[in-house]
């Protein structure tokens, strides 16, 4: 390998996320419907190191260069499975906001695993099952990004099955407020919250009487178990959600533990009104486009 390769990753959105309980190993059992999207995206610039093996990493966000991150974990997991340790220099341009629930880190890890595997001679490459196993050891959402299709994700996130449901994403805006929600905190808070309260209901859009007529568009499943705890602790997210309803959204739901939200609009007029509001208030946002190819 002599040239620099450019790897473009996509993100994921959560159409449905249910926390089923805590397993004996301490991980939470989940059932979630993921869909891949092209935007937002990260870009990995991969070039060879002149000598020796190992991974050298830089990033457009300096705070992500500190310590070992998921790209190091993916590299080491692949090396353990294959014995191959090519010298690589990677510069990561972050376009997927960290802490947004859009799976940017997992997408990056999946892209690196595919790249490393494709660089091996054909008879030495890991088969799809083995590569999925390596991906699952790196992070719970990484196997989904290898698949790159709408899928039900279960277990602790490592079990992935292609879904026959193809969600309609026309009119969907991914809203990324300047808030970071810790996934570890969200799980702890959810566990604490459910000990003293009844399990939350399944409607995201009927938490206030004023929005009883604004459930979901026909055939959609938009739901997220994290919302009761995340929105309670981050009132700015709750306020934004209801503002999006007032603009004309038919459904608004968190991605993962947040802080990004999916806002689904049924008309072009309300969609344009939403974009104007987000631009006027300098709120980062993306117009969803389907990613059907995977990484």
pLDDT more than 90, % of the chain? 57
Tens digit of each residue's pLDDT (9 = 90 or more) over 237-289: 999 999 999 999 988 999 998 899 999 998 999 999 999 999 999 999 999 76
Give the closest residue to 96 by CA, choosing from 86, 83, 85, 109. 109
Catalytic pick from 12, 108, 225, 241?
A: 12
Give the closest residue to 290 by CA, choosing from 43, 12, 95. 12
Q: Which tokens hold the place of 104?
A: 């940017």
Q: Which region among 36-50, 75-89, 165-179, 236-250 has the lowest average model confidence (pLDDT)?
A: 165-179
State the chain's mean pLDDT as an integer: 85
Catalytic pick from 42, 141, 225, 241?
A: 141
d(CA 182, CA 188): 10
Residue 130 binned pLDDT confidence (cut-offs 50, 70, 90):
very high
CATH 3.30.230.10 is the classification of domain 5-162: yes
For 33, 224, 254, 290, the CA distances from 214, given in Å and listed in that order, are 21, 16, 16, 25
Is the pLDDT assigned to residue 168 strictly greater than 90?
Answer: no
Active site residue 141: yes
Tens digit of each residue's pLDDT (9 = 90 or more) over 132-158: 999 999 988 899 999 888 999 988 777
Active site residue 108: no
Is the pLDDT assigned to residue 206 strictly greater than 50?
Answer: no
Name the residue ranges covered by the structural domains of the chain: 5-162, 172-287
Could you check whether 5-162 and 172-287 share the same CATH topology?
Answer: no
CATH of domain 172-287: 3.30.70.890
């Amino acid at each position: 390998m002599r040239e620099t390769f450019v790897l473009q990753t996509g993100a994921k959105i959560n159409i449905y996320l249910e926390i089923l309980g805590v397993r004996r190993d301490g991980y939470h059992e989940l059932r979630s419907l993921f869909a891949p999207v092209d935007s937002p995206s990260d870009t990995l610039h991969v070039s060879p190191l002149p000598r020796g093996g190992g991974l050298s990493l830089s990033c457009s966000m300096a705070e992500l260069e500190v310590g070992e991150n998921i790209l190091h974990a993916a590299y080491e997991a692949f090396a353990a499975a294959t014995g191959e340790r090519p010298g690589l220099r990677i510069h990561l341009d972050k376009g997927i906001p960290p802490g947004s629930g859009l799976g940017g880190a997992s997408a990056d890890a999946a892209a690196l695993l595919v790249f490393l595997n494709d660089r091996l001679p054909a008879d030495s490459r890991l088969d799809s099952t083995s590569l999925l196993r390596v991906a699952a050891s790196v992070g719970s959402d990484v196997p989904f990004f290898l698949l790159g299709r709408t899928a039900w994700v279960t277990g602790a996130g490592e079990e992935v099955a292609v879904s026959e449901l193809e969600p309609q994403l026309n009119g969907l805006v991914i809203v990324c407020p300047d808030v970071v929600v810790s996934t570890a905190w969200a799980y702890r808070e959810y566990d604490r919250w459910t000990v003293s309260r009844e399990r939350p209901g399944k409607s995201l859009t009927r938490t206030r009487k004023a929005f009883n007529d604004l459930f979901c568009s026909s055939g959609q499943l938009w739901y997220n178990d994290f919302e009761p705890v995340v929105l309670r602790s981050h009132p700015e997210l709750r306020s934004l959600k209801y503002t999006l309803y007032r603009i004309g959204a038919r459904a608004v739901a968190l991605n993962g533990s947040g802080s990004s939200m999916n806002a689904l609009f049924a008309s072009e007029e309300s969609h344009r009104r939403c974009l104007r509001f987000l631009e006027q208030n300098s709120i980062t946002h993306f117009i969803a486009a389907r990613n059907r190819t995977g990484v």
